[in-house]
Every structure is written in structure tokens, then in C-alpha cells.
Amino acid sequence: MSDKVRLGIIGYGTQGSIYAQLIAQGLVPSMVVAAIADPDPRKREQIASEHPTAHVFAHYIDMLDSGEVDAVVTCVPHYLHPEHGMAALERGIHALVEKPAGVFTRQVAELNAFAARRPELSFGIMFNQRNNPLYRRLKEIVDAGDIGRVLRTNWMITTWWRPQGYYESSAWRATWGGEGGGVLVNQAPHQLDLWQWICGTPEKVFAKAAYGFQRDIAVEDEVTALVDFGGGVTGTFTTSTHDLRGTDRLEIVGERGKIVVEGSRVAEVTRYERSEREISASIDADAVKRVFSGELDPARFYTTERIEFTSKWGEQHAGVLENFARNIIDGTPLIAPGSDGIAGVRLANAIHLSSWLGVEVEMDFDEDVYLAELSRRIDAEGDDAPLGRAAIEGAKR
């Protein structure tokens, strides 16, 4: 391997063109755009104009078989991420899949198993928020036990405002057959990943979701989920695409402290001098009166730290691309291993299934039940939906 990874981009839509731009600007030092594949003739003309040194292909398989690329990134509809990732790995080509890793767990599990059989190849996922220095620091704090065992987490992420015209921009968008869901599979996968990356994986979920609530769409645009991590530890996740002035607030409450994040930019970390239960036990009846009268300030029991990081547009994506390239070149550990992608897909599937059935769902839910419910919704849309139907039929074989 040379000091530059020859990247092939599958799909030249919004994400594919951004990645090509970041690399062309030199923000990914260990990569070059070697080839781009897109079935749209107009986009191929655009590629030839914007990236004249890149090989242009109408079909991604032709690009994979050309010998021109060492690695690919899959910037295609969600249902195709596993298929395209496996096609690359099968040919000895490193694969970076876009989020989400797929629409349903069975297809993502197949991708993970396929990648595990080719350990010599790099397999990553574009969870660019894992490259956000704020969340990296918060994970270090939680993992180090600074706030003790996590007791409760709450994330409200409603900064995904999307007007109706966004959904009408493409026929496949916000459909069960074309996209596989709404806010849970398109906008919020980063938070579903970060939540579990930092706080752990839930055991159960009970969810209420509204479908076409404030938008003329078939899929979810409003979600509230209550998760059970076991041992009395709970969490909530709320997201939507119709809040014109959205909120992004994460709270993590631990036995020895608390973290509050605002806007994914600023965090206040509170560290207790002892566990909250030990502090509680030290407050006698007289002290309780002083607490109620305001004479005893609870702030005497803790310290606070403010953490703030800013990053330029594209830095996080470029960082994941560079990290992926370095993993190929010299084995640098991946920020986001591809196998991690199944966790967010599983949680999104469980939230959907709980809302569809109106019951609490275990995280090891029956995948056949999920696929049957998803198939019903694809059929109800009344269109051809080749992507969704093909993916589900493939999973049944």
C-alpha cells in the first residue's frame, strides 16, 4: 500500500459530492479520489467537470472490477449499504459504509459476518459524530468512572427541521420501500449510535411514534422512546423533523456526577465529592431543614467543569475518512468500526416495532415479526419499491 488510498465513491449525491470535495481540498491527506460511480448521465458529466482526474463509471460493479480503487465509500440509499459493502469486500476492496449500516438488523448482521471473514480488509462506518472532540471527551469521562455508574440518560434531539419540500425532492424519500423509515433512519442514526457508544446498550424499549404527524409522509416524523438498560437504569430519546426551533440536549446522570450537553458543542460536567447516596446519608434532620431554607447550598458537595469544542464544517467527516485511510495504510485503530453499525439499526428497529405493536420490545426481538410489519407498510404504499422488497426477499433466503 502506498501513502495514498485510492478511493472510489459509489453515488454522487449530496454526501458523495461532499466527500469528493473534502478530499480534493486536501483535508484527507492520505486519500485521493480515484473513481466515482453514478448511474445518472448528468451526474457523470458533473463528475468529469469537477473531478477530471477521477475515473467515471455508470455502474459501481464496473468500478470495483476496474482495479482503479483500493477502497470505497457507499453513498447510496440505505437498503443498498450492506449489498454494496459486501460487493467491495468480496473483491478485496476496503469498505466504508454510510450511516445507517442498513435498514434492518438481519441485513446488517449479514454484512458484519461477511466482513469478519475478511479481517485483512478495513471495514468502517461513517459515524462522523464519533470524531466530534466533545463526545470523544465525554466518553472518556464516562468510561473512566468520573460520574460513577450511569443511572439515567435523556436525549432530546429535535434540530432536524425539514420542510415539506425536502420530502418531495425525491420519490424514494420518506417511504418505507425506498428509505426504510423517517427521522430514525435518516437524521438521528448518529445520536442513536453516540447514545449507546457512551452510555451502553438498552435491554428493552417502549416507544410512541407518529407517522405523517406534521408532514405529508408515510414514515415517522415524531418519536419518543423510553428505554430500559436493566438494574433500574432508564433513558428517554425524543426526536422529530417538524420543530422549527429545535433542541439538542443530552443529560447523563450518574451515581457520582452529571453531564449536560447543549447543542453538541458545550458540556457541563459535575463531579460529586462522594456518591449521591453517601451525600444523602450524611444529611441529618437538622441539615435537611437547612437545605429547605436555602442555608445549606448543595453546591458545596460538587465541582463543575465546562467543556467546549468547535469544529469547522467538514472536519468530522474528513477525520473519519483520514482515519479509515490510516487504518488501511498502517493499522491505526478505527474511530468507527463497521461492525458497530448494527447497534443503532437494532435500536431503530426496536423503536419502530414497539410503536407498531404498542408493546415494550426486547432488544433481541423476533426479526421475522419486524420484517413482516415492514413488508406490510411497503405494500400499503402501493408503489413498486424495488429496494425494500429486494432487501427483504434477500433476507428471507
Residue 318 lies in a domain: yes
Q: Read off the C-alpha cell for 241.
A: 423533523
Mean pLDDT score of the chain: 95
Average pLDDT over residues 99-122: 98
Among 34-43, 214-223, 270-279, 291-300, the minimum mean pLDDT is found in 291-300
Residue 108 lies in a domain: yes
Residue 313's pLDDT band (cuts 50, 70, 90): confident
Q: Given this model, what pLDDT does residue 212 score? A: 97
Cα 235 to its chain centre, rounded Å, is 18
Q: Given this model, what pLDDT does residue 293 score? A: 84
pTM: 0.95
* Greatest alpha-carbon span in the chain: 79
Helices (H), the chain: 14-24, 41-50, 60-64, 81-90, 105-116, 133-143, 164-167, 183-186, 189-199, 276-281, 285-293, 315-330, 341-357, 367-381, 386-396
CA distances, 229 to each of 140, 161, 203, 340, 357 (Å): 20, 29, 5, 18, 21
Residue 207 confidence (pLDDT) above 60: yes
Helices 386-396, 367-381: crossing angle, 10 deg rounding? 150
Residue 92's pLDDT band (cuts 50, 70, 90): very high
Q: Read off the C-alpha cell for 24.
A: 480534493
Residue 174 lies in a domain: no
Residue 384 lies in a domain: no
Contacting residues for 165 by C-beta, under 8 A, at least 6 apart: none
Residue 328 confidence (pLDDT) above 90: yes
Q: Read off the C-alpha cell for 323.
A: 482515519
Residue 1 confidence (pLDDT) above 70: no
Higher pLDDT, residue 292 or 160: 160
Residue 171's pLDDT band (cuts 50, 70, 90): confident
Q: Read off the C-alpha cell for 58.
A: 455508470
Residue 333 confidence (pLDDT) above 80: yes
Average pLDDT over residues 77-92: 97
Residue 123's pLDDT band (cuts 50, 70, 90): very high
Residue 254 lies in a domain: no
Write out pLDDT tens, residues 210-226: 999 999 999 999 999 99
Higher pLDDT, residue 312 or 109: 109
Q: What are the backbone dihedrals phi and psi of residue 323, each rounded to the nearest 5 degrees, phi first?
A: -60, -40
Residue 67 lies in a domain: yes
Cβ-contact 204, 361 below 8 angstroms? yes
Q: Given this model, what pLDDT does residue 386 score? A: 78
Residue 185 confidence (pLDDT) above 70: yes
Residue 346 lies in a domain: no
Residue 276 lies in a domain: no
Residue 180's pLDDT band (cuts 50, 70, 90): very high
DSSP letter string, 350-362: HHHHHHHHTS-EE
AA identity, residue 185: V
Q: Given this model, what pLDDT does residue 384 score? A: 67
Q: Rg of the chain over CA atoms, in angstroms?
A: 23
Which CATH number goes with the domain that contains 26? 3.40.50.720
Q: Given this model, what pLDDT does residue 387 score? A: 86
Among 230-244, 251-265, 280-294, the minimum mean pLDDT is found in 280-294
C-alpha closest to that of 396 among 366, 368, 370, 365: 368
Residue 164 confidence (pLDDT) above 60: yes
Q: Report the number of distinct structural domains present in the chain.
A: 1
Residue 166 confidence (pLDDT) above 90: yes
Q: Which domain holds residue 71?
A: 5-129+314-336
C-alpha closest to that of 98 among 88, 90, 52: 88
Q: Given this model, what pLDDT does residue 167 score? A: 95
Average pLDDT over residues 98-120: 98
Q: Read off the C-alpha cell for 319.
A: 477525520
3 state SS of 309? coil
CA distances, 233 to each of 153, 193, 204, 226, 252 (Å): 8, 18, 11, 11, 11
